[in-house]
A and B are shown apart, each in its own frame.
Chain A
Amino acid sequence: MTTTIIKKEFGKEKHIQYIIEKGKKKDDFEYWAIEQQHMSGVYWGLTALYLLNRIHEVEFQPMISYVLQCQHPNGGFSGNVDHDPHILYTLSAIQVLALLDALDRLDKQKIANYIASLQQPDGSFAGDQWGEIDTRFSYIAISIVTLIGKREAINMQKAVEFIVGCRNFDGSFGCIPGAESHAGQTFCCVGALAIAGALEHVDHDLLGWWLAERQVPCGGLNGRPEKLPDVCYSWWVVSSLSIMHRLHWIDKQKLAHWILECQDEDGGIADRPGDMPDIFHTFFGIAGLSLLGYENIDSIDPAFALPVSLLNKLSIPLPWANNNNNNN
């Protein structure tokens, strides 16, 4: 059966305007619903702009001041002013400062102490002082201490052990031991193990196959068997496959085409074709296209989810990357 594939263009300028202009409009109802995760919104927007080579559309200094305003005495960062610190927004804050070339503004030891304080006896990490445990937080902790050069602050071996304990028989990972395999959690675990230098705990063939099976007939990717595709899995699945050098196990062209179908004609990318765009899916759509090697989008690193050129500048080693990664 042949289908006519209408070649969709990547609306680069429209997306740039979407990210910047949407940010300027204050009369949009949906925004206040995400005010507590503002820091992550900034990270998503800035990274997308960086990949599109337009980060200088934003004024750096006020942004840096804002980020630092969200730091708490214990070293953690909150999602916005007036909020309590949380590991999620601590990573977003560090990522934002890295993008704005301001990592030197950080008291790295303080942050390291904060992260260390969140590690539990079994190697897992809590998100905050209340104790929610999730492999997302393991990824974040390992990523943070590496970005700020304080890996010795945590017990890396125990951290790896906990992550391995969340591996299921299908080779994929859940949020806590026994939880269902999920592509989002899988990115966190594979990314964490990559950064920790412990990828030997991943069965590349078994997991690669599970991830490849996330591709549904229309070309999009889902997060678990029998679920609908969503653009954000263009990141969670594709980054994991990239780290494991098995990206060619999916139909890359079909996926790229599907991501382009998720674009809104006024700018921004939605979770699926026809839905309303948002900053989260806009970032992950662009990041996914970057990993697929789409033209005019800078390379993003699949483990740190930051531009490769930035990580090179920071001299962060990326041993999973190689020149001929995932081609053919």
Chain B
Amino acid sequence: MEEYISFKDREEWKDITPISQDDGPQPICPINYSTKFSETMGYFRAILVKQEMSTRALDLTEEVIDLNPANYTVWYFRRLLLKSVKFTINDEFKFCEQLALEEPKNYQIWYHRRAIVELSQDCSRELDFTTKAIQNDNKNYHAWAHRQWVIETFNLWEKELDFLESLLTFDIRNNSAWNHRFFILSRNKAITNEIRSLEIEYTINKIKLCASNVSAWNYLKGLMNGSNIDNYPTVIEFCDWMVQNHPICAPANVFKVDILQQKILQLKGKGQIEQLRELVNEAERICNNLATNLAVKHAKYWYYRIDQFQKQLQ
């Protein structure tokens, strides 16, 4: 790391008088400053007031960002500078990447990345870049959102399912990866019956590997959204099999309750009272089990569901 040279010792800054921070009154949350920080900010304030568009100003924003990457004003000014000062786009991408990997939860860095992709219309680095960020933190919300934006904006749908497969193999419980899978399928084109069937098979196999994985069960539910469960006997059979053979698997029981709810709603008003009653009884039995054994902390929710089921008999 380069040794810090005080601004007052830098020849190229001799013409600038730094402006010091005015923190206002003794506030409830006043800020402490180190000397390096005060000095750097003082010079930055001076440049900001002048609205100086120069290479030295661009370099200065980098120093400010280094000290405090969450300072949104310096990012704004940097973007203004990028519009008028000569710079190398590849360097800017590298700078942004390095920061994003160091401070992965910083909103400003991620927005800046998007801004330079938009400015350059160059998305060639983004999949590799977000892959790196995701490898560091599989659930980084910004990384996933950025990846989704890039894919949708530049039509990069092709290899995503392979990418997802490697992630889910590594961590089958990664909710972000499951969400991304849903995103890829549902936003690229409509989920056809064929796609749905393939995805059901895929998801069932994943659930068999890790039955308590809530994300996979949620994904299965999402796949079934808006379709008639009777068209997918494999799902019903699988769920029944799970409940029978893994009776303490809460998500399986929850899914069963949802299947029963759908069937009950289909039967309602068709006069088949006995059948309806049977289904309601079964649903209530499972809800009771959830309330008293499998999901006790959600007991009130399951009693609410029982209430709702009982209303179906009225």
A residues at B contact (CB < 8 Å): 19-20, 22-29, 31-38, 41-42, 45-46, 49, 58-59, 62-63, 65-66, 69, 78-84, 86, 128, 130, 132, 168-170, 174-176, 178-182, 205, 208-209, 212-213, 215, 224-227, 246, 248-251, 254, 279, 328
* Shortest distance between the CB of A244 and any CB in chain B (Å): 12
Closest to B139 in A: A227
The answer, yes or no, to whether B183 is at the interface (CB within 8 Å) is yes
Q: A33 CA to B139 CA in the complex, in Å?
A: 24
Nearest chain B CB to A199 CB, angstrom units: 18
Is B205 part of the binding interface, using a Cβ–Cβ cutoff of 8 Å?
A: no
The answer to whether B34 and A32 touch across the interface, beta carbons within 8 angstroms, is yes
Q: With A169-B225, A226-B214, A249-B301 as known contacts, state yes or no: A23 contacts B68, CB within 8 Å.
A: no
- Chain A residue with Cβ nearest B118: A131
A residues in contact with B222, CB < 8 Å? 168-170
Interface of B, helix, strand, loop or mixed by DSSP: helix
Chain A residues, CB < 8 A from B300: 248-249, 328
Size class of the B contact interface (CB-based, 8 Å):
35 or more
Among A20, A66, A182, A251, the residue within 8 A (CB) of B24 is A66
Is there an interface contact between B29 and A23, defined as CB atoms closer than 8 Å?
yes
* CB atoms of A212 and B298 under 8 A apart: yes
A225 touches B33 (CB 8 A): no
CA of A49 to CA of B28 in the docked complex: distance in angstroms? 11
Q: A32-B37, A169-B221, A225-B215 are in contact. Are A23 and B70 (CB under 8 A)?
A: no
Q: A42-B29, A215-B297, A227-B139 are in contact. Are A33 and B221 (CB under 8 A)?
A: no
Q: A40's closest neighbor in chain B, by CB?
A: B29
Query: Which residues of A lie under 8 Å from residue B221 when comparing CB positions?
Result: 169-170
* B71 within 8 Å of A (CB atoms): yes
Q: Mark B119-145, 1 if CB is under 8 A from A, else 0.
A: 000000000000000000001010011
Mask: chain B, 297-309; 1 = CB below 8 Å from A; 0 = not: 1101100100010
Contacts of A29 in B (CB 8 A): 32, 34
List 17 A-B residue pairs with CB atoms under 8 Å apart, sorted by A's residue number. A23-B29, A25-B32, A29-B34, A32-B33, A33-B70, A42-B28, A81-B24, A83-B73, A168-B179, A168-B182, A178-B187, A179-B141, A181-B179, A226-B174, A249-B304, A250-B298, A279-B29
In the bound assembly, the distance between CA atoms of A233 and B176 in angstroms comes to: 18
Residues 23-62 of chain B, each 1 if its beta carbon lies under 8 Å from chain A, else 0: 1111111111110010000000100100000000000000
Q: Are B144 and A170 in contact (CB under 8 A)?
A: no
For the complex of A and B, list the 3 residue pairs with the smallest distance between their C-beta atoms, beginning with the closest: A62-B25, A66-B24, A169-B222
B22, B72, B111: the one within 8 Å of A84 (CB): B72
A29-B34, A84-B76, A130-B111 given as contacts; is B68 within 8 A of A58 (CB)?
no
B66 contacts the other chain (CB 8 A) = no
Residues of B within 8 A of A250 (CB): 297-298
Establish whether residues A31 and B30, one from each chain, have CB atoms under 8 Å apart when the complex forms: yes
| Contact indicator B297/A251 (Cβ below 8 Å) | yes
Residues of B within 8 A of A25 (CB): 32
